[in-house]
Amino acid sequence: MGKSTTIFKYNNRMEILILLFLFIVFIACILILPALVILIRAKRLNAQLTIEQAFSMKIRKTASDNVLKGLAIVQENNFKISLDELETLQLAGGDPYKVMEAMINYSHIKSLNFQTLLAMNLSGLDFKDAIEKNLNGQEIKFEKQAFGRFLIDYDVIYHNRIGVSQQDILKEEIEKKIYQRLLNFFMYWEGDNLFNINNYIKTNVLNNEFWDRILCVDMKSQELEINFNKKTGYNKS
């Protein structure tokens, strides 16, 4: 009787251990199998993940194709963008894949970076419309424009800035500001040396600070030629 009781208890313990083992395996499958599926999907989309990253993505529910395809672009091009940043963009309602595609397509534009593209994406802006229309430079010309004793020939090419907070500034508004700035300058200028006038305008009147901080556009090139206005009756000699 005693021996049978011992065998019975032993069998019960074994059954409990087996059930406990099966339960652990079941829980592990529930937790790990989805992460393994994410790893397989990532591999198919050419993205590299660790099991820990896949597990975290499962918990945060960020394992979308857009995140994985975006990660593949990051890894292929060695961009300094983390998986966490792509997941944050996804959770905020953005599209990591579109943003990373834009990083590739517009890599030649130095003023564009991940944060700018991210903000544009979250704001619902279309990259093609918001970026490409500003790639072609705008041109403003003054031909024989009179400013008192002087005639100005002026040709400038500029670009509107790209970004969520940047609005296209009307060409007419920029032209008015340039004209007014030159008008104010010539009202108080007393010298007659054309070379000095030209140099002063480029370095102090229509300089980079004027374009950057006042007009808020990017000036690419400008040409300036100054001559005396014979109609005013001014004769240097």
**What is the per-residue pLDDT across 86-119, written as a single tens digit (0 to 9) for each?**
999 999 999 999 999 999 998 887 778 899 899 8
Give 185-211 pLDDT, tens digit per residue: 999 898 889 999 999 999 999 999 999
Please give the model's pTM, rounded to 2 decimal places.
0.59
Q: SS3 of 151, please?
A: strand
Cα end-to-end span (Å), the chain? 137
Backbone phi, then psi, for 141, in 5-degree steps?
Answer: -130, 135
Contacts (Cβ under 8 Å, ≥6 apart) of 67: 57, 83, 86, 87, 90, 96, 97
Q: In what order do the strands lie in the sheet with 217-228?
A: 138-147, 150-160, 217-228
Query: Do strands 138-147 and 150-160 pair parallel, antiparallel, or not at all (unpaired)?
Result: antiparallel
Which DSSP letter does residue 220 get?
E
Name the residue with higher pLDDT: 130 or 121: 121
**Spatial separation of the C-alpha atoms in residues 104 and 73, rounded to whole Å:** 8
DSSP string of 69-105, one letter each residue: HHHHHHHHHT-S--HHHHHHHHHTT--HHHHHHHHHH
Sign of CA dihedral 169, 172, 175, 180: negative
